[in-house]
Amino acid sequence: MKRLAILAMIAALALTALPAVLAEVPAHPSELKYGPLDFKVPDPAKYRHELPGGMVVYVGEDHALPLVDLSITVRAGAFLDDPAKPGVAALTGRMLRRGGTKTLSAEAFDEKADFLAAQITSFASDTSSGASFNCTTQTLDACLDLFFDMVRNPAFDTERLALEKENILEGLKQRNDDAGTILRREWGWLMRGRDHFTSRQITAAELDSVSRDDLVAFHEKYWLPKNMMVTVSGDVNTEAILGTLAERFAGWKSEGPDVPWPPKAPAHSPTPGVYYVDKDIPQGKVFIGHLGMQDADWSNPDRYAVAVMNEILGGGGFTSRITNRVRSDEGLAYSAGSRYSVGRFWPGAFRIVFQSKSATVPLAAKISLEEVRRIQSEPVSKEELNIAKASFIDTFPQAFESIESIVNTFANDEYIGRPHDYWKKYRDRVRAVTAKDVQQAAKKYLHPDQVVFLVVGKWDEIVKGDPDGRATMKEFFDGKATRLPLRDPLTLEPLP
Amino acid sequence: MTTRTRVILGVVASFLVLAGALAPAVAETSANLPVETFTLDNGMTFLLVPKPELTTVTAGWVAHVGSANERPGITGISHLFEHMMFKGTHVIGTRNIERDLEIIAEQERIQQQIRKLTEEQKARWRKGEIDDPFAAENRTPELEELQKKFDALAEEQASLMVKNEFDKIYTGEGGSRMNAFTNRDMTVYFITVPANKLELWFWMESDRLAHPVFREFYTERDVVHEERRLRTESTPTGKYQEQFEAMFWESHPYSWPVVGWPSDLRAISKQQADDYYDTYYAPNNLTAAVVGNFDPKEVKRLAQEYFGTIPRGSQDPPQVVTMEMEQLAEKQMIAECDCQPQVEILYHTVPFQHRDSYALDVLAELLNGRTGRLYKSMILDQKIASSASASQQSGKWEGSFSFYGETKGEATPEALVKAWNEQIARLQDEPIPDEELQKVKNQILASSYRRLSSPFFLMLQLLYFDGLGDWQYVNTWTDKTLAVTAEDVKRVANEYFKAENRAVARYYRKAGTKAEEVPPELADLPAPMRQSMLNQIKQVRASTDLERLEKGLEGLQQQKQQVPPQFKAALELMEKTLRQRIEELKSGEQTAEGGE
């Protein structure tokens, strides 16, 4: 800070002493000189607290605005659903906020929350659940009343549940409307199988069978303080809010079954090949990829090499190879690139993503796969390596940009089991990646001959390829392709 | 109703205890954002919000130009131009600027010839000789030849280029969230950089403003065409919404899409882009916003050093001339798509900062949210909608108010329109209860703080409001909106929500895409025949041609005896449908189609 201020003083003097037109502007940005960035990775211990019962609470004070954020994370989610009864965890998460409490009807709860201008939410995803609010400092106590009434005494009002199910049903009916929805559904099934909770799609009959009793039971079994963690940020006093939270959690029963953790991995292994869903749209939407790297403790150096590798291949937007060739060179797509997710409890996934007009789908795919093979067969340039590494290293402080993101980042570490020192070591680990590491990672973790190639679009036009004859679908798996039927949106049975 | 009143009273009571009788409900006062501003001699304005607690600076600038400034023939040029601004400069993006510029000039000469020949293709197309004047397979040998020459030049150019160098430099220095957007009124460019590298932003942005080179212009035109396919043509309702907007705006340039009409996208020339740049990208037409960790004095110095040397435009950019004609009669669009049946209604209202815009914002808030009137009436009580929302959209030159709702179950779009009309009638006739108005105001007050919490969003708001005409709106909106009375809301409801001032779009699910609703009478038919029956039934239900329906019924009765038994149930269903429709039409009922 001090340094900046001194610089500014010198700058101000320069401005008065010299006419601005005479100032020297460097001929190229590479000649610019920068001061050091004033940034230290925050210390988690400064934010971490435990309530008398042992519950972990992360608190970060930020008094710039009269607003408070509070959220509870619960170790519950679709991974706890009985496979014969999907949707219970998700509906519990949704209905907590929508179904009123034991003393407030759903309507009364909504009215109170809206009058306070409080944003109160609840949710459930595959591997976590939670609830949160954002309110003004002046309404904090009233907001806490409502919030804790909601998480402790939810009513799951039957009528509101019916309404919610009807609205979800309307969403299910739209399953075939958007090509992107079809693409993601089929991709999930091809990669993880139809039964794993991460790819599971609910049918109308299954949705219908979820009852209020199921939600009550799920809430009683899992939404317990022993499975919870809290984060608070904003206009609060740490000591005061910790005291308040201790009171609010007091007397909440904490016996319950152990939550099975880690969640169960998918048993499915994908079968390479071309798959398509026919849909009359002017573009083919494409995913090409395979299962990927797994790393349980964030210390494997390959993790960082894979990240840099994918950044160069297709993850880095305009600075990456697939985007450059498919979009910039050829104008074949508005967006084209690749993603590489590293899994913790099961293998991650690699995926090339693009959409292109029907006739150029094979060409864009061919170019993308050429780039996959090229990054395996030759080392990346020094320039590419430096840009990719710098993009990770120099944007790193943004993970800690606000107090809210600091406490959420640390709480999330604790939830998923990521060591806090990950952040301290992160930049050095990225810096250590060499061109050789990148090539080895590409060889080890990319399998261009073993891909699942999925396209949603107008198949008879896609299969023929571009008018200049540069590529057709014959180039992939000898032209063999499996047609995936459109699914009845409610039963998910194949349509004729 | 009684329970609801009690609840509200309860909340009011608890709030009184909480905050004291005279204080506003959720905060003492509305938020006020201090913004430092200065303007360079060339007319470029800067808005600064220092936030020393951050490690980044998020910065951007707005060009006061959007698709409303276009004309038929060059629609889409603003957006295409936005793409071109990432293609580099005299220094960035090439290893040999002299040869690069020669190639661009040569390419332009070829494109001129191509355009000329394309005119001939269009003439052939007008006579029906070819199906598409632009398609590669319809190219004449001459066009083929020119295209080859062009491609060869593009290849040479590519060999001299440093691809995407603009992006590479920013990315390599930790720039993130680099992007841009174009709408009807403005074009906005922005990025976040580490706080110690703010000078890079000045270097890069002033360079691309002062010395842009529009290389790869024609490939980028193809990319934009793909973007159009992605956003407009491949989404369930995109292409219909585009035509609905075009129908709603009668004379105003808001009628064409920001992405442009396809024929124009194929025709835009680099020369047109050059002229556009000279007219609209002069510093006197630009405003920059800088939010984050910096010293304002340092920013002033850098602004002067980097942007101060760019000359002011030789003349002020022209304003939009054509105003919207007053609408005289209700407009309607009926569309069939792979989509949930839905409704969109647009009313002509008022532009940005019009004194009625605040009351219209309040009116929208009364309708929205889980305790809003739309949710209560359409979703909870009548159960005819799965979603419903309303909003006032204040453009720079004109404004509109929209209602949007998706049907639920067997409800028809007509039912949503009817329910909407009822809500409007209530707003026009009944006073708004104090508690309800207070609820909305509490939310407005809280949002005056919430909207300041993200530095990135803050920067966007400053540029967005400035693009509409006045960045100070970020501070003035709250108090003006809090001053709106129940009487104001009633007045604007009466003023703007008239049938002759609106356009209504009703969307129906295309027959055959609704898999779950095959009547049992058709269940045993082979799939193609089932589909054709479904289509016919839908046509019958939509038909208003009584004579034709009666003829159809007659013919059907004659055939009835001759059909194989497995089709009998289907024919009977068709007969029933025909009779119902005939009866409806005879009884003068205006029941339109779309389910039961």
> CB-based contact (8 Å) between A458 and chain B?
no
CB contact under 8 A, A395 and B234: no
SS3 A320: coil
Q: Quickly count: other Cβ atoms within 10 Å of residue B588's Cβ.
A: 6
The confidence score (pLDDT) of residue B526 equals 59
The confidence score (pLDDT) of residue B549 equals 80
Q: What is the mean pLDDT of chain B?
A: 88
Residue B412 has pLDDT above 90, yes or no: yes
Q: Going by C-beta distance under 8 Å and a sequence separation of 6 or more, which residues neighbour residue A366?
A: A470, A471, A475
Residue B195 has pLDDT above 60, yes or no: yes
Task: Give tens-digit pLDDT for B533-561.
Answer: 666 776 677 677 777 788 778 777 776 66
* Identity of the residue numbered B341: P
Residue with the larger pLDDT of the pair B559 and B467: B467
> CB-based contact (8 Å) between A18 and chain B?
no
> CB-based contact (8 Å) between A243 and chain B?
no
CB contact under 8 A, A66 and B91: no
Q: Which of A137, A235, A394, A464 to mutate to test the interface with B (most CBs of B within 10 A)?
A: A394
Residue extent(s) of CATH 3.30.830.10 domains in chain A: 46-249, 273-483
The confidence score (pLDDT) of residue B518 equals 58
**B337-451+472-509 shares the fold of B36-93+162-306:** yes
> CB-based contact (8 Å) between A67 and chain B?
yes
Percent of chain A having pLDDT more than 90? Answer: 86
Task: Give tens-digit pLDDT for B109-127.
Answer: 999 999 999 999 999 999 9
ipTM: 0.86
User: Which residues of chain B make contact with A166, given a CB cutoff of 8 A?
Assistant: 383, 386, 408-409
| Burial class of A468 by CB neighbour count within 10 A (0 to 12, 13 to 18, 19+) | exposed
Q: Provide the shortest C-alpha distance from residue B213 to chain A (in Å).
A: 15
CB contact under 8 A, B309 and A21: yes
Q: A29 to each of A22, A241, B207, how far by Cα in Å?
A: 18, 48, 10
Residue B516 has pLDDT above 50, yes or no: no
- B276 membership: H or E segment, kind and range: helix B270-280
Nearest to B40 by CA among A15, A28, A8, A4: A15
Residue B362 has pLDDT above 70, yes or no: yes
Q: Provide the shortest C-alpha distance from residue A280 to chain B (in Å).
A: 9
Q: Quickly count: other Cβ atoms within 10 Å of residue A292's Cβ.
A: 20
| Burial class of B2 by CB neighbour count within 10 A (0 to 12, 13 to 18, 19+) | exposed
The confidence score (pLDDT) of residue B88 equals 94
Separation of alpha carbons A269 and A349, rounded Å: 12
User: Which residues of chain A make contact with B23, given a CB cutoff of 8 A?
Assistant: 138
Domain boundaries of chain B, sorted by first residue: 36-93+162-306, 337-451+472-509, 520-586
For residue B565, what pLDDT band results from cuts at 50, 70 and 90?
low
The confidence score (pLDDT) of residue B164 equals 86
Domain covering B36-93+162-306 assigned CATH 3.40.50.300 in the classification = no
Separation of alpha carbons B560 and B574, rounded Å: 11
- Strands, E assignment, A87-234: 119-124, 129-136, 228-234
Residue with the larger pLDDT of the pair A301 and B526: A301
User: Which residues of chain A make contact with B383, given a CB cutoff of 8 A?
Assistant: 163, 166
The confidence score (pLDDT) of residue B578 equals 82
The confidence score (pLDDT) of residue B163 equals 84
CATH number for the domain formed by residue range(s) B337-451+472-509 = 3.30.830.10
User: Which residues of chain B make contact with A163, given a CB cutoff of 8 A?
Assistant: 379-380, 383
- Pairing status of strand A228-234 against strand A56-61: parallel
Q: What are phi and psi of B209, to 5 degrees?
A: -80, -40
Separation of alpha carbons B470 and B460, rounded Å: 13
| Residue range B481-491: mean pLDDT, rounded | 97
B3, B15, B371: residue with CB nearest A110: B371
Q: Going by C-beta distance under 8 Å and a sequence separation of 6 or more, which residues neighbour residue B242?
A: B232, B257
Interface of A with B in 174-193 (CB under 8 A): 174, 176-179
The confidence score (pLDDT) of residue A43 equals 95
CB contact under 8 A, A329 and B219: yes
The confidence score (pLDDT) of residue B537 equals 73
Size of the A and B interface in Cβ pairs below 8 Å: 285
The confidence score (pLDDT) of residue B296 equals 97
Q: Which of B14, B155, B216, B226 to mutate to test the interface with A (most CBs of A within 10 A)?
A: B226
CB contact under 8 A, B172 and A390: yes
The confidence score (pLDDT) of residue A8 equals 42
Residue with the larger pLDDT of the pair B519 and B354: B354
User: Which residues of chain A make contact with B14, given a CB cutoff of 8 A?
Assistant: 142
> CB-based contact (8 Å) between A19 and chain B?
no
Residue with the larger pLDDT of the pair B513 and B492: B492
CA B170 to chain centre: 29
CA A403 to chain centre: 20
Q: What are phi and psi of B434, to 5 degrees?
A: -55, -45
* Identity of the residue numbered A163: L
The confidence score (pLDDT) of residue A399 equals 85
Q: Quickly count: other Cβ atoms within 10 Å of residue B418's Cβ.
A: 12
- Strands, E assignment, A235-296: 273-278, 283-291
B54, B219, B454: residue with CB nearest A331: B219
Fold of A46-249: Cytochrome Bc1 Complex; Chain A, domain 1 (3.30.830)
| Residue range B332-348: mean pLDDT, rounded | 94
The confidence score (pLDDT) of residue B236 equals 82
A5, A329, A467: residue with CB nearest B137: A467
Q: Provide the shortest C-alpha distance from residue B65 to chain A (in Å).
A: 23
Interface of A with B in 124-143 (CB under 8 A): 134-139, 141-142
| Residue range B285-298: mean pLDDT, rounded | 97
The pLDDT profile of chain A, 496 residues, written as one tens digit per residue, is: 333 344 343 444 333 333 334 457 899 999 999 999 889 999 999 999 999 989 999 999 999 999 999 999 999 999 999 999 999 999 999 999 999 999 999 999 999 999 999 999 999 999 999 999 999 999 999 999 999 999 999 999 999 999 999 999 999 999 998 999 999 999 999 999 999 999 999 999 999 999 999 999 999 999 999 999 999 999 999 999 999 999 999 999 878 999 999 999 999 999 999 999 999 998 999 999 999 999 988 999 999 999 999 999 999 888 899 999 998 888 898 889 999 999 999 999 999 999 999 999 999 999 999 999 999 999 999 999 999 999 999 899 888 989 999 999 999 999 999 998 999 999 999 999 999 999 999 999 999 999 999 999 999 999 999 988 999 999 999 999 999 999 999 999 998 7
- Pairing status of strand A56-61 against strand B385-394: unpaired
The confidence score (pLDDT) of residue A23 equals 52
> Tokens 């949002």 identify what position?
B447
CB A122 within 8 A of CB A73: no
User: Which residues of chain A make contact with B164, given a CB cutoff of 8 A?
Assistant: 318-319, 324, 328
Q: Homologous superfamily of A273-483 in CATH? A: Metalloenzyme, LuxS/M16 peptidase-like (3.30.830.10)
| Burial class of A415 by CB neighbour count within 10 A (0 to 12, 13 to 18, 19+) | middle
> Tokens 């939009």 identify what position?
B320
Task: Give tens-digit pLDDT for A454-464.
Answer: 999 999 999 99
The confidence score (pLDDT) of residue B223 equals 83
CB contact under 8 A, B227 and A334: yes
Task: Give tens-digit pLDDT for B37-64.
Answer: 999 999 999 999 999 989 999 999 999 9
Residue B23 has pLDDT above 70, yes or no: no
Q: Which of A294-308, B216-230, B473-487 has the lowest mean pLDDT?
A: B216-230
Task: Give tens-digit pLDDT for A369-397.
Answer: 999 999 999 999 999 999 999 999 989 98
The confidence score (pLDDT) of residue B512 equals 59
The confidence score (pLDDT) of residue A161 equals 97
* Identity of the residue numbered A88: V
